[in-house]
Structures are given as structure tokens and as C-alpha cells.
């Protein structure tokens, strides 16, 4: 089944403790992206990747890192999480930057 898989679904952590949210897609998609969703603000793009080893900042990249060493994986790294990064995070992929997105089921992160 074609899908985007994020892990974990839920994560509670403390300020400053490094964490990684994994994202994997099995559709051989070139384009991958991370979004955060906050009430009233909609989905905001954090980082995106047009292909392997090609990443770029979205609208809200501060406090986040990404890597794209393999086509299928696009992990999101929070080196020193802060409470303002408490949010619902979605990974998405598409065949290319012009194609519709396939989303994962989200990771709800709480930073205390």
C-alpha cells in the first residue's frame, strides 16, 4: 500500500532534549516536505526536499533540521526543542514539486 509513515504518532519531551521524527515513503517520490499545523494558522512548511541531498527552508525553519540521504527517508530533527515547537507535525511526499501531496498521519509533539 502506498503510504507515508511517520513515527512516533505522539511524543512528549522536555525543553532542550534532542529528538528526531522519522518519515518514510514507499512511492519513490522525489519531493518531500515537513509541515506543522497549529490552530488558526493552517499548515506551515518547515523544510522541503526536491531530491536526495537537496533540501531547502520553508516558511518556519527556525529550530529545525532535516536531511535527505536516501530517497525514501526525510527525518525532522529538533536539536533543542522549546515549548513553542509544541504542535502537530506532518510529513508529505509527491512525485515532484508540481504534484499533489501524500501526507502521513501526523506526529503530535508536546514540549514541556
Partner 1 sequence: SQKIEQNSEALNIQEGKTATLTCNYTNYSPAYLQWYRQDPGRGPVFLLLIRENEKEKRKERLKVTFDTTLKQSLFHITASQPADSATYLCALQDSSYKLIFGSGTRLLVRP
Interface residue list for partner 1 (CB under 8 A) = 4, 35, 40-45, 90, 92, 97-98, 100-106
Nearer to partner 1, 35 or 64 (CB): 35
The CB-of-15 to partner 1 minimum distance in angstroms stands at 26
Which is closer to partner 1, CB of 14 or CB of 41?
A: 41
**CB nearer partner 1, residue 80 or residue 105:** 105
- Could you give the 3-state DSSP secondary structure of residue 83? helix
Cβ at position 36, least distance to partner 1 in Å: 11
Amino acid at each position: 500500500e502506498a503510504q507515508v509513515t511517520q513515527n512516533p504518532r505522539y511524543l512528549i519531551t522536555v525543553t532542550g532534549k534532542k529528538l528526531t521524527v522519522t518519515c518514510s515513503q514507499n512511492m519513490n517520490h522525489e519531493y518531500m516536505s515537513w509541515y506543522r499545523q497549529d490552530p488558526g494558522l493552517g499548515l506551515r512548511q518547515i523544510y522541503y526536499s526536491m531530491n536526495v541531498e537537496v533540501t531547502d527552508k520553508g516558511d518556519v525553519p527556525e529550530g529545525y533540521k532535516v536531511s535527505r540521504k536516501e530517497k525514501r527517508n526525510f527525518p525532522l530533527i529538533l536539536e533543542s526543542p522549546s515549548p513553542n515547537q509544541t504542535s502537530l507535525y506532518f510529513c508529505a511526499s509527491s512525485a515532484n514539486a508540481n504534484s499533489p501531496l501524500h501526507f502521513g498521519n501526523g506526529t503530535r509533539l508536546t514540549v514541556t
